Amino acid sequence: MSVKGKNILLGISGGIGSFKACELLRLFVKAEAHVRVVMTEAAQHFITPLTFQSLGAEEVSLDVFDPKPYSLEHVAWSDWANILVIAPCTANVIGKLANGIADEVLSTQAIAYAGPILIAPAMNVKMYNNKAVQRNITYLKSTGVHFIGPETGALASLITASGRMSEPGTIFARARQILLGRNDLKGQHVVVSAGPTREPLDPVRYISNYSSGKMGYALADAASAFGAEVTLVSGPVELAPPPGVNVVRVETALQMQDEIDKACAGADYLFMAAAVADFRPASYQKQKIKRSGESLNLTLQANPDILKSLQKNRPRKVIGFALEVENLEARAHDKLRDKRLDMIVANNPSEEGIGFGSDFNRITIIPRGGKTVRTERLPKYELAIKIIEEAINLSHAQPVPQIQPGAPGRHVPQIQRGRARGGRTYKRRP
């Protein structure tokens, strides 16, 4: 389930962090949610209702006694909403919610609301540390109200302390996670790679491919919605970073290998969705290559196979992607074995209206030792959720297969004697 089509009630109270609620509203609107805004009177000293209307709020409510149709039924919005997000939430509003006080429009809607509530407190550190405020927060948490932040950082008073409202992206990601209702990946570290790599020829030219990065970004976004801490190692793409995700930007395959290796230390999952260039120019020309003659010969050199090269930092579950235009499933099975993956996601980019650059795809998910799942054409975010569900369901009991020296389609070790992963000793075939 995504945020698309969901009804978001965004409450704004009178704190200096209220300007950040504009960005939060934009994130919900961009995700195609319906947003209604409820502002306290104090909030209107900091920011105007017009700002939220202009940014895409469908309605803005300011007064319990407002004679507009919605407000006649002063708690009607609380039946409409799928989630109530209060950001920023003042000490005052926290106190009212904890004590059942409904003396203006936000607290009235909130107290009448039976669905999930997410509060992003923001206040001066002395207010935040106040015993009554802390008691109110503890009480609300015990009733199932979700809290995010506050963060430690520079407050309005310019001192660095706890009390700063969480960033809009982080609040959005948490709200989406609450709406998804899944927390399976909480406490787990997921690494996702996305996009193409660029292999430079000279200061102005490079070799690359058509990968848009959309599938990898959707995976990072969805993993975050499942509660994971996500590192997205991204090649050059035109996409906004998914909210709440740590993005590491790279250009070349070698940089990607390096950053993935670092990110995978202690990670639980790797989703290798990047379209890493198989080859790079054997030499980089420091000066722009001049046009001369009718042809130019380029010598290319193989890039490392990042999945095969994962050694000591190999995450618990490694998921690869196969892009094939022929014999899709047979080749995906080969790749699954060859690269000792736990699961592979295969797709054919030559099908009309899916794949590269598109927001849609049709995929085949092949878990090692499990049942193959073939999807219909779906938005990439929906597919990302399916892929993550399948990855979560992968049996922990399935051991990673050992390399069989000389077996067809498998890596043949170049040394006389050595140790395969898992400690098995093998001999090279004569």
> Which residues form the interface with ligand FMN (CB under 6 A)?
13-17, 40, 42-43, 90-93, 122-123, 127
Cβ 60 vs Cβ 33: under 8 Å: no
Cβ 201 vs Cβ 281: under 8 Å: yes
Cβ 26 vs Cβ 8: under 8 Å: no
Comparing CA positions, the residue from 251, 269, 357, 286 lying closest to residue 320 is 269
The contacts of residue 3 (CB under 8 Å, 6+ apart) are 28, 31, 32, 33, 172, 175, 176, 179
Question: Residue 173 CB, nearest distance to ligand FMN (Å)?
Answer: 22
Instruction: Decide whether 106 or 365 has the Cβ nearer to ligand FMN.
Output: 106
* Terminal CA-CA length for the chain: 55
Question: Residue 115 CB, nearest distance to ligand FMN (Å)?
Answer: 21
- Residues 262-299 as b/e (b if ≥16 CB within 10 A, e otherwise) read ebbeebbbbbbbbbbbeebbeeeeeeeeeeeeeeeeee
Helix (H, G, I), strand (E, B) or coil at 386: helix
Instruction: Decide whether 17 or 168 has the Cβ nearer to ligand FMN.
Output: 17
Question: Residue 63 CB, nearest distance to ligand FMN (Å)?
Answer: 12
Instruction: Decide whether 15 or 168 has the Cβ nearer to ligand FMN.
Output: 15
Instruction: Decide whether 18 or 303 has the Cβ nearer to ligand FMN.
Output: 18
Q: Of 7, 130, 209, 313, which is the active-site residue?
A: 209
Instruction: Decide whether 107 or 211 has the Cβ nearer to ligand FMN.
Output: 107
Calculate ∠ Cα 256-227-140, nearest 5°: 145
Is 209 tagged catalytic?
Answer: yes
Cβ 178 vs Cβ 262: under 8 Å: no
- For the four alpha carbons of 315, 318, 321 and 327, in that order, the dihedral sign comes to positive
Question: Residue 159 CB, nearest distance to ligand FMN (Å)?
Answer: 13
Question: Residue 96 CB, nearest distance to ligand FMN (Å)?
Answer: 8
Active site residues: 209
